[in-house]
Structure 1
Amino acid sequence: MKAMIFAAGLGTRLRPLTDHKPKALVEVGGEPLLGLALRNLARYGVTEAVVNVHHFADQVEDYLSSVQTPLRIHISNERQQLLDTGGGLKKARPWLQDAPFIACNVDVLSGLDIRAFYQAHLDSGAMATLAVRSRETSRYLQFDEGMQLTGWRNAKTGAHRACRPTAVARDFAFSGIHCISPELFGFMPETAVFSIIDVYLEAARSQRVLGYPHDDTPWMDVGKHHALGPAAELAARLFV
């Protein structure tokens, strides 16, 4: 099983911690977020991972060259231009086009069983499976009763994008964890910089893009200062 870790972001919500280091190397309970992500993937059977780099890329590469991990690591270099989630995934395609793979944000901690999540994706025949939760957020993915993606809405601005007609549209918050079949690359635009959410909305017009609720497992976005303390407590529980 392979994975992509999105680690190239600027980490603006964590400044000033990220003024001199990348978000991926901000420590939670004494360990960098990237190290926790690698450990989490490894314990569920991932053997190979792509890590994209941009902000303080040299620091991330130095860390990956010295960290103790059973995973085979590939670096996807975005030094010249930050490509967003979709563009970053597209650039990493050479390592990820032979089988379905996991993708995750480096600043997410979760107790989601990645192996079960991956198997559910394989069993469903979906092009992409997105881990989601029932929580408050500013932007929601919308699903029908069968958990097929039908749209997206911004709760702050009122903006809405529908990709499938549906009688019922249920709001869920995306958890930043995906399982993707390589066929999704065929729905990506020619442009270099784009969001993966745009790709999902386009693909869902004709393909199965499914939500995978996991409200029964712990989850945390560690992208803000106030989350660092609770994140350390969660990491201690997850990695006993």
Structure 2
Amino acid sequence: MEAMIFAAGKGRRLRPLTDTTPKALIDFGGVPLMERVAGNLVAAGAHRVIVNAHHLAHQVAEWAAASPLGVPVAVSREDEVSPAPLDTSGGLFHAGPLFEAEAPFLLHNCDVATAVDLAALYHAHVEGAARDGRLATLVVAERATTRPLLVDGDGVVGRANRTEGWEVIARAPSRAGETGAYGFCGIHVLSERVFERSAEGGTFSIMDSYMDWIGDGERVGVFDATGTPWYDIGTPERLAAARRAFAAGSATGATPSGGSAGA
């Protein structure tokens, strides 16, 4: 199993911390944030890690070269091909040639700190793919969000932006009136056949790609992690809260709810 960490963003909301340090390398419990994420991925079974980088990419490359993880770490240097990060889908496809294993892989945002069971997530995807041929499995949770994913018993139906007032329905719900709104947790498993999908180069979001793929008939399942500690480290306040929770041990040991983990 391989894993990729999205780490190319500038981390504008974390300034001034990110003026001289990439968001991925901000200290989190005595180690760079990305090192904690990567360590969790390796513990879940990843034998190789790929990281994309743009802002202060040379620092990310230096970290990768000296990584203490005990597995190879490859860096996809977006700064060498674009004046701005390629976003999540653009970044994934740009990094495509670096993937070596013909197996599903984990994707994890660098600015997410969580106790989600990544090994259980991976196994849920493999089992789900054998059952329904899904392309991906996304970690979701019932939480307040202005940009929810719309989910039914078979997986992702669409997405919405409550602030901007729009909604995209990529496929009809399995049963009318049974769609729920969930927050996406920035963690997914994708089948290696995602690289067979046609994708033009450029900057675009993986959420836009998911909507296109679902509309084409692909299934995108969900892994319900409601109740599991999860922190989006997008601001200094959220970073401080996550540091406190994990330092106190209050953000470990929880497990995802099992009822819809394989949907």
**Coarse TM-score class (shorter-chain normalised):** over 0.9
Superposition misfits of 4+ residues, deviation over 3 angstroms: none
Q: After TM superposition, list the pairs within 5 Å mapping 1:11-90 onto structure 2.
A: 11-79=11-79, 80-81=81-82, 82-90=85-93
Query: Is the partner of 2:148 in helix, strand or coil?
Result: strand
Letter in 2 for 1:231: A
Q: Distance in 2 between matches of 1:133 and 1:239?
A: 16
Q: Distance in 1 between matches of 2:67 and 2:93?
A: 26
Seen in structure 2, the aligned counterparts of structure 1 residues 62 and 84 have a Cα distance that, compared at 3 Å, is same
CA contact (8 A) 1:184 1:203 kept: no
Letter in 2 for 1:180: L
What percentage of aligned pairs have identical amino acids?
38
CA contact (8 A) 1:44 1:115 kept: yes
Letter in 1 for 2:75: I
Query: Is the partner of 1:151 in helix, strand or coil?
Result: strand
Query: Is the partner of 1:19 in helix, strand or coil?
Result: helix
Structure 1: unaligned runs, 5 residues or longer: none
Deviations 1:171-219 (A, max 9, x none): 1110000000022223343132111011111111201101111013211
1:185 has 2:195 as partner: yes
Letter in 2 for 1:83: L
CA contact (8 A) 1:90 1:188 kept: no
CA contact (8 A) 1:187 1:202 kept: no
Match of 1:107 in 2: 111
Q: Distance in 1 between matches of 2:21 and 2:252?
A: 24
Letter in 2 for 1:61: A
Deviations 1:32-87 (A, max 9, x none): 11111111112112110100110001111112222311221111010142110001
CA contact (8 A) 2:109 2:186 kept: yes
Select the residue among 135, 138, 146 that pairs with 2:146.
138
Q: Distance in 1 between matches of 2:252 and 2:98?
A: 28
Q: Distance in 2 between matches of 1:239 and 1:4?
A: 23
Q: Distance in 1 between matches of 2:102 and 2:202?
A: 22
Q: Distance in 1 between matches of 2:201 and 2:145?
A: 28
CA contact (8 A) 2:7 2:109 kept: yes
Select the residue among 204, 211, 219 that pairs with 1:201.
211
RMSD: 1.6
